[in-house]
Amino acid sequence: MRECGILLPIASLPSKYGIGAFSREAYEFVDQLKEAGQSYWQILPLGPTGYGDSPYQSFSAFAGNPYFIDLEQLTKDGFLTEEECRKADFGGDETSVDYEKIYNKRFPLLKTAFLRWKAHMEDANVDMEAVFERELIQETRNYCFYAALKRHFQEKSWILWDRDIRLCKREAVEKYKKLLAEEICFYEFQQLMFLRQWKKLKAYANKQGIRFIGDIPIYVAFDSADSWSHPELFQFDEENRPKAVAGCPPDAFSATGQLWGNPLYDWEYHKKTDYKWWMDRMQYCFGLYDVVRVDHFRGFDEYYAIPAKARTAVVGTWNKGPGIALFEKMREVFGEVNIIAEDLGFLTPSVYKLLEDTGFPGMKVLQFAFSTNERSSYLPYFYGHNCIVYTGTHDNDTTRGWYETMDEDERQFTEDYMDNKTTPANEISWDFIRLASSSTADLSVIPLQDYLCVGKEGRINTPSTLGGNWTWRMKRGQFTPEIIDRCRNLNAVYGRCRNKQAPEEEEQTPKEAKAVPEEAKQAPKGTKQMPD
C-alpha cells in the first residue's frame, strides 16, 4: 500500500505555554493530517531531554518528557488555575522554544499541580502507590527515583554522587527512597500525567486513521537512569565508569570524527540474558507508538568504540554488534514488528545483509541524492518498494534552505533531473515533495517545514553543534487549508492519499473526550528489580 505521512516534533506544535504539548493543538494537527490524506505522524523521541535539549540524549529510555504535559488539561482537572499558567514566563515566541525558561517555569507549576492532585487523592482515600504500580512500569519508576536523586545532588551527573548510591548499594537505595519519598512521588505524578495524556492523544489519532511513527536512539545517555541503575548492561569498569564510548570515525565531513560519548553496550552480557533489557525497551516503545524508527541501525551490525579518555574520535575500533540474533529474539517475543531502520551514512555489505535479513524498510533521503561525484543510491530510480522516502530529516536543513546553499554543479544536476529551472525559490520544496511522492517507496514522509516552504530558519537540528537546536515551532494557523488541500491533491495524484471518510461514530472533541479505558492505560511490564 502506498502511503504518506508528515514529520513534526511534538515540541514544534503551537501552544499557549512556550512549547508544543499534548494540548488541543495536537488534536487539531491530527485533524489536519486527516484532511491532508495522511496516514502517519512521525515524531522525535518522547523521553525527558538532558543537556543540550536533545531528544536523542534522554535521561531515560523508559520515561516521557514532562514538557509535553498539557497545562490546560491540568487546569480543567482543577490542579492549576488559568492565572497561574498565564503569569509564568515561558519565554521564546510563537516560532521558537526557550528551554531555560521552560525548565525554570514548568516544574514549579507541575509541583503545584502535584500537591493538589496528591491532596485530592488523599481526600478521596485513593491509594497512590497502587495507581503508580498499575500504570507505570518499574523502569519508569526507576527513572523517577533517579530524577529525585539528581535533584538532591544539585543536578550533578550520577557519576559524581556519593559512592554508595552511585553504585546502587542496597542500604543506600533504601535510605534515599525514604528520604526522597515526596520528590519521587512528584516525578511519578509527572510520568502518570504524561502517559495518560499521550495515550489519550494516540487513541484519538488512531481513531482518525493516523498512526504514530516513534523514534528511539540506539544508545542511551551516560547521565541517565538506564546507565546508573543497570551498569551491567554497559562496558563499564568496577567503579561504573565507561571503558569506551560511542561515536564515528573521521570522514569527509569531520577530520576528527564524532565523539558522542554514549556508553557502549556489553553485547555479550545482553546475549546471556536473552536480550531481556532490549525486549523490555521495545515493549515499552511498541506500547507508545504504532511504528518504531530505530536510529543508527548500523550499530547493531558493527559499532565504533572510542577509548573513554580520548578527546577525539580519531582513535577507535570497529566491533561486532548483536547482528540478526537481537531481531530474531524480537520476532520470537513480539511476532512481526513494525520497525523502520535508520540506515543512513556509509554502509558496509554486512549492514546491507542485516537489513535484508530483518526485512525492515530502510530510509531514502532526497537531499543525499544529488551529488555530482557519483550516482547516489538515494536517487529515486534506484528505489524498490520496501523503503521510506524523505525530502530531509530532523538532522537536515529544510529543503528550501538546502537548495539555496547548494553548489552550482549539484543545483544544475537537480534542475536537469527534475526539469525545474523556472521554479521560484519559495516553491522549490514542492518539486522535491512531488519527486518523493512519485517514487516507488511504499511510504513518503515529508517534514512539515517543506510543505510550508520554510527556509533555513526552520531547521530542527544541526548535528555536532550545541545551542540553537530543537527550537523551531510552527506558527498558529501556518498550516493553512490551502496548503492542506494542495498536500492532499498532490498525494492523491500519486496514489498515496487515504480516503477521507467520516468515522463510524461522531468523534468527541478533545475537551469532551472520555477517559482512556483502563486497559489502554496499562504499560507493558518491565523488569522489577533494582541492581544491588
Measured in degrees and rounded to the nearest 5, phi and psi for residue 263 equal -65, 145
The yes-or-no answer on residue 342 being catalytic is yes
Looking up cell 521560484, which residue turns up? 424
- According to DSSP, the residues that pair with 446 across neighbouring strands are 6
Helix (H) or strand (E) holding 248, with range, is strand 244-248
Q: What is the DSSP letter of 41?
A: E
State how far the Cα of 246 lies from the Cα of 304, in Å rounded to an integer. Answer: 6
Cell (9 digits) for 59: 535521561
State how far the Cα of 60 lies from the Cα of 140, in Å rounded to an integer. Answer: 8
The yes-or-no answer on residue 395 being catalytic is yes
State how far the Cα of 249 lies from the Cα of 336, in Å rounded to an integer. Answer: 34
Cell (9 digits) for 341: 531502520
Looking up cell 519508569, which residue turns up? 140
Q: For the chain, how are helix, strand and coil distributed in percent, rounded to 5?
A: 45, 10, 45
User: Pick the catalytic residue: 31, 84, 164, 295?
Assistant: 295
Helix (H) or strand (E) holding 387, with range, is strand 387-390
- The answer to whether 20 touches 14, Cβ cutoff 8 Å, is yes
DSSP-derived pairing of the beta strands 291-294 and 339-341: parallel
User: How far does CA 84 lie from the centroid of its chain?
Assistant: 30
- The answer to whether 34 touches 208, Cβ cutoff 8 Å, is yes
State how far the Cα of 392 lies from the Cα of 399, in Å rounded to an integer. Answer: 7
Q: What is the CA radius of gyration of the chain?
A: 23
User: Pick the catalytic residue: 98, 290, 395, 507?
Assistant: 395
User: Pick the catalytic residue: 3, 301, 342, 397?
Assistant: 342
- The answer to whether 326 touches 277, Cβ cutoff 8 Å, is no
Q: 371-376 contacts: CB < 8 A, separation 24 or more?
A: 371/410, 372/409, 372/410, 372/413
Measured in degrees and rounded to the nearest 5, phi and psi for residue 419 equal 50, 55
State how far the Cα of 196 lies from the Cα of 43, in Å rounded to an integer. Answer: 18
- Cβ–Cβ contacts within 10 Å for residue 127, how many? 11
What positions carry a catalytic annotation? 295, 342, 395
